[in-house]
Amino acid sequence: MRYLIAFYIACLSTFAVSAQTISINSGTTWSIPSLSSTITKAGKNYEHIETSSASQTLLKVNALIGWSITAHLSTTSNWDSSLKLYVQRTGNGTGIAILSGGTTYIQLTSTPQAFFSGLLNLLAHRDNIPIQYKIEGLSVMLPVKTYTTTVTYTISGL
């Protein structure tokens, strides 16, 4: 009987892990205005910080029990090292799952780091969790071209 109970627990935990999904609704692209229109004095760098809309990306999470989401830059082949990308959660979205963390900016690197977590039950979910981005390091010294990177979000059970 003891082995049968352990078998059922193993099966349930496998089900819980495989039942987790995260969906992303984003075409996250935004144009940064030219800094040349603000230059009034020679010799000044005129660094600039730009933020996306508060709901630039929308996440949908379906998972059982507890979960956490990490974020990192996974593709940076056309990315200048002076650019720094930050991400934050700007709201709770819809649904009855409980969310925790992620409401202040974290700088994204190539190393996955904790973003936010949630607690669900069998009928709970979270839809349209709004995500905002901030980019620092924009400068008149930065070559004019299109810079691209990929942000990867990973969901894990707790």
- Each residue's pLDDT tens digit, 103-156: 999 999 999 999 999 887 666 678 899 999 999 988 777 888 888 888 999 988
All domains of the chain in start order, with CATH:
2-23+43-157 (2.60.40)
Whether the per-residue pLDDT at 17 is higher than 90: the answer is no
Q: What pLDDT, on the 0 to 100 scale, is given for residue 21?
A: 65
Q: Bigger pLDDT: 43 or 132?
A: 132
Band of residue 78 on the pLDDT scale cut at 50, 70, 90: confident
Q: What pLDDT, on the 0 to 100 scale, is given for residue 41?
A: 61
93 vs 124: CA distance, rounded Å? 13
Band of residue 1 on the pLDDT scale cut at 50, 70, 90: very low
Q: What pLDDT, on the 0 to 100 scale, is given for residue 156?
A: 87
CB atoms closer than 10 angstroms to residue 131? 26
